């Protein structure tokens, strides 16, 4: 029996798993998809919000501030990219300036330091490419950027290295209360017993709560579309730029990424379909138009991909973190600033368990640090040559766009949590994430996965769920014709 079963392998579920593993608990993570970070975690703005926007007195405000304060140290421990680049909320009129002052006052109530309203002259000093219509901005020096799926992979990998178990393709079908905890049954008949269940299932957290007869809330998807530009556009801005937020969210942003690209978006459209991740012309046109109001030179011709994420919007207006039944913890409605708050949410859940009579210990041999998965391309020639002497696979470049080597890909395939498909390799190494989007390197990566997983190339998937990219060998097709 496990001490804790965490349903959902996103950034929040991963942070909770790592925290409870450090508390010497036997942890399993149950995920319905074929890999971790497959929900909102892989398709969001990748921003660590300073914390000025969340309404003072809410859980969002409390945990955003705490999570933002923790994030740099967490990323350092896990070998994850983090950059404190600062953020600006742009104003275009006197009315906007009044709203910015209200937001600043709210941020000061939340304990956010360094906030200031700055003039156009100061904005231009910081961002020379700012658009002509911008007149003022709220400047927050503590805003930062990360890679959310890199963070999640490192967090769950660290939890696994400390004893946590990850079960993929585990779609929860039934939850039964027992005398000692809970029985969790998958759609394929796999049973897991746990004393505690943490429901971190994102968009499906209301459905999971319903299975446990603990539903007191509902969650609906809010669609957000993005456009990602090539690294040639990555220096267009250095700060994260927002427009004045609305009830639907923080608006369209223009931001660099930790990997050197430029990201534009998201839109915000309330939906009912929890699986619809289609991008639409109207949404992309709106992103292009709104980003042009903010900066002068975001060249949309540098676009290399567009994508859509679904935010889990709860009906309470705040994060939902509670224990409605002994041992069953809801962690739901974790929309923005969920990524920023994730380490603090894990702390909050641990405290909630302790306050409800569960004993949390200390794992004396817990290893909280993890070696970075990226960085070979950033080494000096001398350092690279030393590594290549030890392992010639590092001398064979597979992904030309991102300069990712065979050695890096093999290391990723062999490191927890291990990828089982092409997109899994992409998120771990950035191979296939460049300008050609895998056009050159995906056949080679397919071959590497085939050898490492011990399966035919025809059985290698793009992103789980029978997403095969090869139907057979050409000679066999000809012979059987």
Q: What is the pLDDT of residues 183-234, one digit of tens each?
A: 999 999 999 999 999 999 999 999 999 999 999 999 999 999 999 999 999 9
Helix (H, G, I), strand (E, B) or coil at 46: coil
Q: What is the pLDDT of residue 465?
A: 84
8 Å CB contact between 369 and 157: no
Largest CA distance in the chain: 74
Average pLDDT over residues 421-438: 96
pLDDT above 60 (res 115):
yes
Domain ranges of the chain: 379-480
Is there a catalytic annotation at residue 49?
yes
Q: How confident is the model at residue 99 (pLDDT cuts 50, 70, 90)?
A: very high
What is the overall mean pLDDT for the chain?
Answer: 96
CATH code of the region 379-480: 1.10.10.1100
Q: What is the pLDDT of residue 479?
A: 60
pTM assigned to the model? 0.96
Closest to 155 in 3D by CA, of 32, 47, 44, 8: 8
pLDDT above 80 (res 478):
no
How far is CA 330 from each of CA 112, 122, 187, 198, 293, rounded to the nearest angstrom?
A: 28, 44, 21, 6, 40
Closest to 159 in 3D by CA, of 367, 360, 339: 367
Q: What is the pLDDT of residue 246?
A: 77
| Active-site hit among 49, 220, 231, 239 | 49
Nearest-10 Cα torsion for 283, 288, 294, 297:
160
- From the centroid of its chain, how far is CA 258? 13
User: Rg of the chain over CA atoms, in angstroms?
Assistant: 23
Q: Which residue has the higher pLDDT, 472 or 206?
A: 206
Q: What is the pLDDT of residue 374?
A: 78
Per residue in 360-372, pLDDT (tens digit) is 999 999 999 999 9
Closest to 56 in 3D by CA, of 90, 89, 114, 103: 103
Residue 109 tokens, joined:
């109530």
CA distance 339 to 347: 14
Rounded (5°) CA angle 343-346-348: 110
| Residue 272 CB coordination number (10 Å) | 7
């Amino acid at each position: 029996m496990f001490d804790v079963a965490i349903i959902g392998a996103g950034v929040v579920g991963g942070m909770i798993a790592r925290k409870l593993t450090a508390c010497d608990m036997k942890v399993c993570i149950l995920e319905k998809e074929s890999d971790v970070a497959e929900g909102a975690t892989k398709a969001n703005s990748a921003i660590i919000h300073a914390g000025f926007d969340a309404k003072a007195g809410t859980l969002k405000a409390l945990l955003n501030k705490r999570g933002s304060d923790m994030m740099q140290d967490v990323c350092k421990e896990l070998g994850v990219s983090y950059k404190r680049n600062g953020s600006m909320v742009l104003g275009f009129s006197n009315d906007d300036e009044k709203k910015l002052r209200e937001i600043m006052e709210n941020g000061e109530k939340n304990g956010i330091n360094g906030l200031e309203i700055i003039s156009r002259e100061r904005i231009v000093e910081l961002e020379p490419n700012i658009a002509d219509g911008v007149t003022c901005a709220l400047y927050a020096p503590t805003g930062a950027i990360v890679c959310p799926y890199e963070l999640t992979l490192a967090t769950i990998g660290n939890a696994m290295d400390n004893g946590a178990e990850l079960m993929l393709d585990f779609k929860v079908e039934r939850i039964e209360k027992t005398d000692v905890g809970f029985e969790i049954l998958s759609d394929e008949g796999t049973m897991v017993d746990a004393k505690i269940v943490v429901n971190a299932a994102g968009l499906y957290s209301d459905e999971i709560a319903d299975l446990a007869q603990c539903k007191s809330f509902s969650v609906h998807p809010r669609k957000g579309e993005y456009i990602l530009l090539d690294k040639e556009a990555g220096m267009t801005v250095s700060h994260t730029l927002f427009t004045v937020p609305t009830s639907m969210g923080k608006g369209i942003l223009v931001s660099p990424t930790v990997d050197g690209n430029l990201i534009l978006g998201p839109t915000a459209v309330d939906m009912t379909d929890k699986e619809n991740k289609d991008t639409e012309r109207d949404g992309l046109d709106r992103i292009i138009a709104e980003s042009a109001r903010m900066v002068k030179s975001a060249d949309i011709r540098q676009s290399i991909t567009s994508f859509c994420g679904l935010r889990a919007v709860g009906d309470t207006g705040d994060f939902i973190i509670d224990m409605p039944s002994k041992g069953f913890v809801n962690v739901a409605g974790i929309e923005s600033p969920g990524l920023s708050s994730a380490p603090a949410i894990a702390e909050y859940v641990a405290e909630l368990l302790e306050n409800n009579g569960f004993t949390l210990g200390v794992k004396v041999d817990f290893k909280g640090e993890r070696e970075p998965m990226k960085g070979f391309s950033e080494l000096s020639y001398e350092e690279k040559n030393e590594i290549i002497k030890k392992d010639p696979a590092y001398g064979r470049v597979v992904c030309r766009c991102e300069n990712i080597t065979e050695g890096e890909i093999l290391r990723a395939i062999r490191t927890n949590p291990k990828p089982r498909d092409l997109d899994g390799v992409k998120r771990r190494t950035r191979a296939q994430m460049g300008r050609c989007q895998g056009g050159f390197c995906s056949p080679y990566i397919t071959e590497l996965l085939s050898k490492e997983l011990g399966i035919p190339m025809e059985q290698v998937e793009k992103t789980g769920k029978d997403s095969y990219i090869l139907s057979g060998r050409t000679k066999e097709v000809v012979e059987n014709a």
